[in-house]
Amino acid sequence: MLTNLLRKIAILLLCSTALLATNVFAEAEENVESFAKYIELQPNQAKTIKNHMIWRTHKTCEVRIEENEAVELAFQALQKRIVVNGIIIDEGYATSLIVRPGDKIELELNSRARLGITNHGQHVVNLRC
Write the single-letter amino acid at 25.
F
* Structural domains of the chain, with CATH: 32-128 (2.60.120.10)
One digit per residue, the tens of pLDDT, for the chain of length 129 reads 667 665 766 665 555 554 544 444 344 344 456 666 889 999 999 999 998 888 999 999 999 998 888 999 999 999 999 999 999 999 999 999 999 999 999 999 999 999 999 999 999 999 998
pLDDT for residue 37: 82
Sign of CA dihedral 89, 90, 92, 93: negative
Report pTM: 0.73
- Strands 104-109, 57-65: pairing is antiparallel
* CA dist., res. 95 & res. 67, Å (int): 23
pLDDT for residue 13: 55
pLDDT for residue 107: 94
Write the single-letter amino acid at 112.
R
Does an H or E element contain 13, and which? Answer: helix 2-26
pLDDT for residue 99: 96
Span 45-76, pLDDT tens digits: 999 999 888 899 999 999 999 888 899 999 99
Closest CA to 41 of 109, 112, 97, 111: 97
Helices (H) and strands (E) in the chain, counts: 1, 11
Sign of CA dihedral 65, 71, 76, 77: positive
